[in-house]
Amino acid sequence: SLSSISSMASDIPQIEGLLKALRLFSANQIDGAEDEATRILQKNPLDQAAWTLKLSCLADRFYVDELENNDIGLAEQVIDTQIIATAARPGTSFARPSTSSRAANPILRPTSSTGRPLTGVVRPMSSARPGTMEQAVRTSRTSKTARAVSSQTARFVRLGTASMASNADGPFVNLARLNVEKYAKDPEVNRQLFEYVFYLEGDIKIAHQIAAIATKEAEFGDWYWKNQLGKCYYRLGMLKDAEQQFNSSIKTFKHPETYAYLAKVHSRLDQPGQTIKDFQEGLERFPDDITLMLGLARTYERLNQMDESVSTYKQVAKTKANDIESIACIATDYFYDDQPEIALSYYRRIMQMGITTPELFMNVGLCCFYSQQYDIAIACIERAHQEMEKEIAADVWYNTGQIALSIGDIKMATRCFRLSLTCDADHAESLTNLGVIMMKQDKWEQARSLFYSAVAKAPHQFEPHFNLGLLCEKSGLYSEARNFIMKALELFPDHSPSQKLFEKIDILYKIL
């Protein structure tokens, strides 16, 4: 009967207290677990299990993947004393990628605002250009300030103040009064305390102290603590000490994460050959590890070795069919390899996985346009315009201008490029295209001004240098034309029009 069922239901014990908090935490309901742990601590502030669980909840909420957090700002380039070679040969440094015939063609694969070939996704390292100091200063900064960009500033400041927001009375743990040695020796607490201090408080000094004591307590035989010491040394800029810790960790226990961290250190030391070797050694031990394969593909990409990079991304896609980064990079390669139909199938696959960003709609629109599917192309481009944000508005208007040029509507293209410059005054591609349009309309002075602006904004692009050289040659300014053409050839040695124009000007110099 109903009465017997209700009496049986009342006899079932309700889960409360620490067990409920642990169940919520295991189900990834971090907020509920934290609230339950807080209630336990309000009743018994000395409950170590609840205290440890709350540390885990707070650290988990503000966790940052250290393998992805590898951007290098302007300040690091200025004070960097770890890089050995300042004038490396092409292909032996990330600052001087490969320039062989196997490298990406700047015509077929355009470069981003940082001077690297366009990739399928935006990553932290894609915002850094390890070139000369002059180029680093010229590179536009998204912070909209005149302060030097540093990867160790704003992000870690925000993480350090996150604990204040989590507790109205201040930080959950008062590090100034914490007995670090006592808790670092306790194996039941030290890992959670380290992650709280490292990720949320951002106090690397105390985090290093905890890791050092825990390593000593484990008699230097725990690979986990060696990895944490290496991460602390990396954050502190002590790259050689970090390398030593990760090498020691691999000798203790071989873990794919350790190989990735070691490769990250060698990448920061500007040693691409050793970085590739680290990833390959890790893949020999763990053949199907996605993290290692993605790291290897990104390294090839940074070295401008696009064939090896795309081949590695395809291996990632075979191993993990829903990896968005690999699918997007493969699609990008097919698009710039003049196969928009195949690229479209990859982008549609990403849309089927629930990704509906304006960047993706713009890419689908471009693929449809170059595949002669004009009705779908217009709908996708309109959707990209509807959903675009300020950060990508310049690129969306630029791509729209490119489509207008393709259909011969010069007036609409000019408006699109001007709107692109309104959204981002440093958009060098729009400046260059506007200059070409002005040149075609015999407005040479306006074209010259636009080309000079493009050269100043993007010294890594060969197009504005070549266009300026051609304009100076037509105006009879052979000395300036020669200098600009030489710079264009330095950026793209195989550019045939630049070679022919240089030979034409060089003959005049020899006659004189």
Q: Give one word for 140, left, alpha or beta, with left for phi > 0 and alpha for psi -120 to 50.
A: beta
Residues 443 and 472 in one domain: no
Residue 136 maps to a domain: no
Burial of 233-251, coded b for 16+ CB within 10 Å and e otherwise, reads: bbbeebbebbbbbbebbbe
Q: Give how many domains the chain has, as a whole number.
A: 4
Residues 428 and 509 in one domain: no
Query: How long is the chain?
Result: 512
Distance CA 165, CA 95 (A): 40
At 434 the pLDDT is: 96
Residues 435 and 503 in one domain: no
Within 13 Å of residue 198, how many CA atoms lie on the same side as its CB? Answer: 28
Among 222, 253, 284, the domain boundary falls at 253
User: Which of 492, 497, 437, 494 lies closest to 473, judged by CA?
Assistant: 497
Whether the full predicted model's pTM is greater than 0.85, yes or no, is: no
Structure tokens at 273: 């050959």
Residues 446 and 466 in one domain: no
Residue 5 maps to a domain: no
Residue 154 sits in a domain whose CATH number is 1.25.40
Residue 286 maps to a domain: no
Residue 101 maps to a domain: no
Distance CA 325, CA 23 (A): 33
Among 224, 253, 282, the domain boundary falls at 253
Residues 445 and 489 in one domain: no
Distance CA 434, CA 449 (A): 10
Positions in the chain whose pLDDT score sits under 50 = 2, 5-6, 8-12, 101, 127-166
Residues 235 and 151 in one domain: yes
Residues 165 and 239 in one domain: yes
Q: Which residues pair with 117 in a beta bridge?
A: 111
Residue 490 maps to a domain: yes
Dmax (CA) for the chain in angstroms is 112
Q: What is the pLDDT of residues 438-468, one digit of tens each?
A: 999 999 999 999 999 999 998 888 999 999 9
Residues 424 and 512 in one domain: no
Residue 472 maps to a domain: yes
Residues 244 and 165 in one domain: yes
* CA 287 vs CA 241, 275, 359: distances in Å: 28, 17, 33
**Helix 496-511 / helix 478-491 crossing angle, nearest 10 deg:** 140
Residues 506 and 426 in one domain: no
Among 196, 231, 253, the domain boundary falls at 253
- Residues whose CB is less than 8 angstroms from the CB of residue 214 and which lie 6 or more positions away in sequence, other chains included: 184, 185, 187, 190, 191, 194, 222, 225, 228
Distance CA 17, CA 421 (A): 59
Domain encompassing residue 505: 460-512
The Cα angle at residue 374 between residues 392 and 366, in degrees rounded to 5: 30
Residue 395 maps to a domain: yes
**CA dihedral for 481, 486, 491, 496, sign (positive or negative):** positive
Residues 434 and 470 in one domain: no
Residue 42 maps to a domain: yes
User: Which of 374, 305, 371 lies closest to 338, judged by CA?
Assistant: 371
Residues 170 and 226 in one domain: yes
Distance CA 164, CA 62 (A): 13
HEC secondary structure over 63-81: CCCCCCCCCCCHHHHHHCC
Distance CA 256, CA 278 (A): 10
- Residues whose CB is less than 8 angstroms from the CB of residue 83 and which lie 6 or more positions away in sequence, other chains included: 269, 270
At 506 the pLDDT is: 85
